[in-house]
Structure 1
Amino acid sequence: MATAFLFPGQGSQTIGMGAELFDQFPQRLAEADEILGYSLRSLCLEDPDGLLNNTQYTQPALFVVDALSYDARGADQEVAFMAGHSLGEYAALYAGGVLDFASGVRLAKARGELMARVTGGGMAAILGLAADDIAAVIRVANLATLDMANFNTLGQTVISGPAADIVAAESAFKDAGAKRYVVLNVSGAFHSRYMKDPAEQFRVHLESTSFQAAVTPVIANVTAQPYEAGQAIDNLCSQIHSPVRWTETIQSLIEQGVDSFEELGPGRVLAGTVKQIQRGR
């Protein structure tokens, strides 16, 4: 039996996440609070100012909860691979020995701040259409401002682009046979061409970070393949403006003998995608 640990990204946050972890790892929590300049316990457990769903705050909070979930899980079994969805990839890199905890907090903070500055964008999840069919609709309906952002399962793809264009495109995809078209509650066109400027600004932060060779292989979102030495900066920079190849990631892990997937972090969104991909959906 081969096991892969999976770490969720933005969208999995929920008030109350991390409650037991913060008590279990007070030194880690204090370290993160010092880097961030605010109380993660207050943000995650109470969210008094309504900031938890703000990208600037969501991303470092999720990294910390994902990372501490791994620490709490312990090393009582051999793990063959680590993988994370979007922001979750940073926790996967931490668990894989590529990134230390403090560096992960700093990068999540910088990434969240830069991505939060990009406004006017939107995203929508399309259910019931294959990725090739979605690409065809974009081409035939002349939806040239839209990009494919997340390949989550064979039957669920997220598109990204200007907010007004995302809303206006619904009828084209419904006419093509989409079962559902869900406009997501985001402020930016994440994982699209519109994120290239913040991605390049983020490179400065990546270049000042020390990355180590992976102790456990980590799958990259942009390639759906394990990280190789020297790839971290380019992979993480490209990840911001490139699609998340999650379906390929899970398919590749299955082909490499992984038959057990364990999601570490809030929610069970990724576990659901794994089941759908395993069923060919």
Structure 2
Amino acid sequence: MSAVEVMRLPLTVDLSGFVALLQRLEVPYRVSEESGEQVLWVPGAQLAEQVRGLYERFPEGDPHFQLQHEAPPQAPRPGFIAQLNASRITSLVLLATLVVAVLTNLGDNFSTIRWFSFQDFQIQGDYIYFTPLAESLAAGQWWRLVSPMLIHFGILHLAMNAMWFWELGRRIEARQGGLMLLALTLGFSLVSDVAQYFTSGASLFGGLSGVLYGLLGHCWVFQRLAPCPAYRLPPGVMAMMLIWLLVCLSGLITALGFGAIANGAHVGGLVAGCATGLVGGALARLRR
């Protein structure tokens, strides 16, 4: 790649501080003297544009600039209460999930579950009879479109979903705000519930996993379009979640006797999350 001229400055301008900054940032550069001027070169036009912008922000003439930026003080890690305060929507969603888990006795109290399920139902003997969704919506029970995300069947189901929502929800709340996280959570719940309903028909399902796949897809696509530290997931997380999705789709988990998996909700949430990540990442990239 050929060298590109970044800027020409008089020989009287002291570039030593800026050159030291480029060295710390590991930016390849070269300074030459031509016709009584000093010329700064870097490889590539895109890097040249970035270095010009960096020089415009450089506090020229500040002798303490090097010392202030050489070793920034390590910020203390916030405590648990501070993390809760900084992630209020994430915490509220998890609190609501825990309350519903207690009220439903982790899926054993069907008289309470029926108020949060996608369709109302009655149990008579060994049979469960579902009320048509249209009747429930006509009666004003619109919360059923999103409330299944609060239902969990067993402590392991609850613990795994809560852990991942805490991990992904805080990232989105820190990067895009609590209102955006709430909108995404409700939107992914709606899409995943409807997808599961059309996949399996009248059935009893619940959990945050559809929402989690939505949040995961959102972070993944957003990060690829507009990289940011908040959405940089640990290596292998996306691959692991996709492998788990394929294993569930294969029917192996159900065949082993671990219960039915809401595959429609998982796929619906993931597709919706990739779509919102595409839009959000594209807009963030344009703003940059």
Is the pair's TM-score, using the shorter chain for normalization, greater than 0.5?
A: no
Larger Rg computed on CA atoms: 2
Greater fraction of residues in strand? 1
Greater fraction of residues in helix? 2
TM-score (norm 2): 0.27
TM-score (norm 1): 0.28
